[in-house]
């Protein structure tokens, strides 16, 4: 997440849930916010994509390659973690419009039928 942290607009990570080699993190920066889907290869974690409410849904996580059991666990654990946060903070995570793939350099590519579909 250091790639996105800026002195004038700090990146705050409010919740992270992990199952196996997949994770979902709630983040906010200024008035913006969203959820990040992360994957682990070896000891390294990387952000695969950012989205809003779609990453709360176990079906979306399954489409991203997470096993059904892990997707359901991530979804349930994320919901539990978000109950610990203020409703105003949680509302920011829904502001992320659509889905965007995160490239190795930190740039974003939109994911929709006109771009790359979710695998």
pLDDT higher than 60, residue 33: yes
Digit-coded pLDDT (tens) for 53-89: 999 999 999 999 999 999 999 999 999 999 999 999 9
| Max CA distance (Å), the chain | 40
Predicted confidence band of residue 102 (pLDDT cuts 50, 70, 90): confident
- Average pLDDT, rounded, for the chain: 86
In this prediction the pTM is 0.82
Task: Please give the structure tokens belonging to residue 105.
Answer: 């350099």
Q: How far apart are CA 72 and CA 2, in angstroms?
A: 28
* Sheet containing 108-110, strands listed edge to edge, beginning at the edge strand earlier in sequence: 11-19, 22-29, 32-41, 44-51, 99-102, 108-110
């Amino acid at each position: 997440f250091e790639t996105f942290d800026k002195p004038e607009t700090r990146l705050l990570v409010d919740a992270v849930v992990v199952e196996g080699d997949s994770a979902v993190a709630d983040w906010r920066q200024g008035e913006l916010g969203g959820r990040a889907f992360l994957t682990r290869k070896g000891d390294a974690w990387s952000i695969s994509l950012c989205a809003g409410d779609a990453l709360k849904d176990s079906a979306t996580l399954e489409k991203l390659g997470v096993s059904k059991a892990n997707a359901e666990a991530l979804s349930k654990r994320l919901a539990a973690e978000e109950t610990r946060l203020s409703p105003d903070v949680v509302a920011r995570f829904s502001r992320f419009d659509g889905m965007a793939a995160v490239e190795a350099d930190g740039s974003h590519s939109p994911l929709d039928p006109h771009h790359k579909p979710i695998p």
